[in-house]
Amino acid sequence: MKTQGQGQSKRKQLHHPLSPHSNPFDILTEEIVCNILDHLHDDPFATKSFSLTCKSFYFIESRHRRILKPLRPDLLPRTFHRYPFVSHLDLSLCPRVDDPTLNDLSSTWKATLRSINLSRSRFFTNAGLSSLFINCSGLVEVDLCNATHLTDLAASAIAEAKNLERLSLARCKLITDMGIGCIAVGCRKLKSLCLKWCLRVGDLGVQLIALKCKQIRSLDLSYLPITEKCLKSVIRLQHLEDLILEGCHGIDDDGLSTLEQSQSCKSLKMLNLSNCQNVTHTGLSALINGTEQLQQIILAYGSSVSQKILKVTSDLAKCLLTYSKLQSIKLDGCIITWSGIKAMASLDAPFKELSFSKCLGLTDDGLSFLVQSQKDLRKLDITCCRKITYNSIDSVTSSCTSLTSLRMESCSLVPKEAFVLIGERCPFLEELDVTDNEIDDEGLKSISRCSKLSILKLGICSNISDEGLAKFGSCCPLLKELDLYRSIAISDAGIAAIADGCPALEMINIAYNDKITDNSLISLSKCRMLKALEIRGCLGVSSIGLSAIAVGCKQLTVLDIKKCFNIHDNGMLLLAQFSQNLKQINLSYCSVTDVGLVALASLSRLQNMTILHLAGLTPNGLAAALLACRALTKVKLHASFRPLLSQSILGHMEAHGCVFHWRHKAFQKEMDPKGWKLHFGRSSSEVP
């Protein structure tokens, strides 16, 4: 709406010097209009309003449109005429895309289509794909993730796409080496290929890909049953930059050691060996032997977790010595030794990103020693490093002043004083995760100096109050994401300050905060960019507050109002009327009845519903709502409804691509069944 307003004001300015009788739009050439159109991306309604302005705008917009993301496949035939030049088709909102649909769209956009996303769609077969690939020979990018029903026949259909450059087949679990072989022979121009979780693809298929598709830049082989046999061919790829081998348990040190004789991959920039249990530093050094461009290495949850590697991190660091362009190392979940830290510190590479999430051995001394020389560090992740204290934060903040991202969830030994340092010394912070920490209002006030902050996570920080939030809200206008989950000391005043000071807010979580009432939501309704709102278990919130949100936040797409017992049908009615963008809603435990649910069902974009323990819900109401909701893809329901709904309704829904998840969860009366209060008691007693 905002951009549209700007567009209008521009037009007015242009119109001003001219005589009042001439048509103001006549002086706008098609080129200028197209330029304006190019800038209308932020608001989903902007282009719609634009094309509704006048006939000529409608015409220009329809010719100008390249990207299409239809809400439902049955709307597609109407778009065929309206948008003749679509090149990027995103069908991720269409759960049901069958062969005739693919046939039609491929014959319509025969010449223009370059990219298609079918990752969320089902019900098409190899026949539809083959007509798509034969008709649209210009296709460059295809996303077929999650097509678990596709077989090798579909793969042989893909092989018709001779110009394909980017292909994702993640989770295509029925495709075997044979299908991959077809693709390897057919799609010679492939640059990026994702075969993650294609569990039937083995060495032979990957080997053939590496032999036939010489242009490959990015190859994702995660969780494939492959061994070093295919890697021998893979590392001979001249242009390979990204190699992802996550969770490849078939790859081990012995196998990798046989690679040393052969040619190495000189162009490799990123290597991901996460979850490779059988690869240690010896295997790693064999694999990256001879690479010169290596920038990022990800070894998360790798072999270092097993006992035999305890002392290896120093060797590991040594084998990275020669890679001067290295910028990023991720060692999440590894055991880090003092010698390893020392060796890492001795690498000359100026790191930009370090990740030590859940590293057990990371101590104050180690981290301080390591960051001393890393002045250029931008991103640091020390989530759950429970040994670090004030000293670490002191040295990190004093040496790495250009930090943009700091994640330190659950660093339980870091005292509240440390957070003051972060605010004082790291002015460029854009992302800060201090979930489950001792941070208090003083710390938050200090952090408010980081005026570029866009993501702040303060979940389970019980020491934060309205005072800190108010200060923060007044200083950080760029904030987009705020997490206040179970920060139980905050109330309406704090939220109001945030709503006033952060107009760009897109996501806020204020779940399980007793003091939050409708006033908070009323003030949040000012945030027009709000897309996701989570107010689980806020007992003080009623339909009034939700109505305000529905009216104010037109872009709301995700809403979680689970256990808001005071939200009734009225809230749903307004939501149904105003929140046309709503995609996902969790209504469990609310006081919503059939009426509210049926009203909600009129939302044309609603895809995902969780409806457990709605007291006023009857099977008939549910059935009516389900049938009315045409875009549904996923519904979570209590298992007790299963026998009460007629099979024909379920069958109808499933035929449209909706998936039912039947849950057996018992009704929870208590607000805090997991004893979070106890946890707070413990942590507050530790605070001096």
Partner 1 sequence: MDHKDRQETCFTNFSTQNQQKWEFPDPLTELLQASKAQDWDPAAMLNNLSFLEQKIHQLQGLVHLIIGRRDRVSGQVQPYELVAQQQQLVTADLTSIIVQLISTAGSLLPYVKHTQGAPSLSLGQFQPQNGGVSGGGGGGSGASELQNSVDVSTNEEHDLKDEEDGEELGENLFPGTYEILQLEKEEILAPHTHFCTICGKGFKRDANLRMHMRGHGDEYKTPAALAKPNKESSSEPALIKRYSCPFAGCKRNKDHRNFRPLKTILCVKNHYRRTHCDKSYTCSRCNTKKFSVMADLKTHEKHCGKDKWLCSCGTTFSRKDKLFGHIALFQGHTPAIPLDDTKGSTGTCDPGNDSEATNKLGSMNMFNFSSSEDVKGSMEDPSGCFSPLNFETCNFGGFHEFPRPPFDDSESSLAFLLSGSCGYTNKSGEQ
Query: Which residues form the interface with partner 1 (CB under 8 A)?
Result: 122, 125-126, 146, 148-153, 155-156, 159, 171, 173-174, 176-179, 181-182, 185-186, 197, 199-200, 202, 204-205, 207-208, 211-212, 223, 225, 634, 654, 657, 659-661
Q: Which is nearer to partner 1, 153 or 271 (CB)?
A: 153
Distances (CA, A) of 24 to 10, 64, 117, 219, 259: 11, 21, 40, 53, 70
Q: Which is nearer to partner 1, 180 or 510 (CB)?
A: 180
Q: Which is nearer to partner 1, 49 or 610 (CB)?
A: 610
CB of 203 to partner 1, least distance (A): 8
CB of 185 to partner 1, least distance (A): 4
Q: Which is nearer to partner 1, 110 or 173 (CB)?
A: 173
Q: Which is nearer to partner 1, 145 or 434 (CB)?
A: 145
CB of 664 to partner 1, least distance (A): 14
CB of 231 to partner 1, least distance (A): 16
Q: Which is nearer to partner 1, 148 or 402 (CB)?
A: 148
Tokens representing residue 614 in the block: 């709605």
CB of 182 to partner 1, least distance (A): 5
CB of 207 to partner 1, least distance (A): 7
C-alpha closest to that of 236 among 258, 214, 208, 260:
214
Within 10 angstroms of residue 250's Cβ, the number of other Cβ atoms is 17
Under a CB-based contact definition with an 8 Å cutoff, are residues 368 and 390 in contact? Answer: no
Q: Which is nearer to partner 1, 539 or 650 (CB)?
A: 650
Q: Which is nearer to partner 1, 425 or 636 (CB)?
A: 636
DSSP conformation class of 330: E
Tokens representing residue 133 in the block: 């690939």
Tokens representing residue 635 in the block: 């519904």
Distances (CA, A) of 649 to 478, 592, 615, 625: 46, 22, 22, 11
The C-alpha atoms of residue 438 and residue 411 are separated, in whole angstroms, by 9
CB of 489 to partner 1, least distance (A): 35
CB of 521 to partner 1, least distance (A): 31
Q: What is the 3-state secondary structure (H, E, C) of 346-393?
A: CCCCCCCEEECCCCCCCCHHHHHHHHHCCCCCCEEECCCCCCCCHHHH
CB of 663 to partner 1, least distance (A): 10
| C-alpha torsion sign, points 214, 216, 221, 224 | negative
The C-alpha atoms of residue 1 and residue 352 are separated, in whole angstroms, by 38
Q: Three-state SS for 168?
A: strand
Distance between alpha carbon 224 and the CA centroid of its chain, in Å?
23
Q: Which is nearer to partner 1, 229 or 449 (CB)?
A: 229
The C-alpha atoms of residue 34 and residue 198 are separated, in whole angstroms, by 42
Under a CB-based contact definition with an 8 Å cutoff, are residues 444 and 468 in contact? Answer: yes
Under a CB-based contact definition with an 8 Å cutoff, are residues 168 and 119 in contact? Answer: yes
C-alpha closest to that of 130 among 112, 148, 142:
142
Going by C-beta distance under 8 Å and a sequence separation of 6 or more, which residues neighbour residue 361?
Answer: 335, 336, 337, 338, 340
Under a CB-based contact definition with an 8 Å cutoff, are residues 515 and 541 in contact? Answer: no
Tokens representing residue 60 in the block: 């220009």
Q: Which is nearer to partner 1, 160 or 518 (CB)?
A: 160
CB of 153 to partner 1, least distance (A): 5
Going by C-beta distance under 8 Å and a sequence separation of 6 or more, which residues neighbour residue 597?
Answer: 572, 587, 611, 614, 617, 621, 622, 625
Q: Which is nearer to partner 1, 180 or 453 (CB)?
A: 180
The C-alpha atoms of residue 573 and residue 563 are separated, in whole angstroms, by 18
Q: Which is nearer to partner 1, 328 or 633 (CB)?
A: 633
CB of 304 to partner 1, least distance (A): 21
Helix 55-64 / helix 30-38 crossing angle, nearest 10 deg: 60
Q: Three-state SS for 244?
A: strand
CB of 306 to partner 1, least distance (A): 19
CB of 420 to partner 1, least distance (A): 41
Q: Which is nearer to partner 1, 225 or 675 (CB)?
A: 225
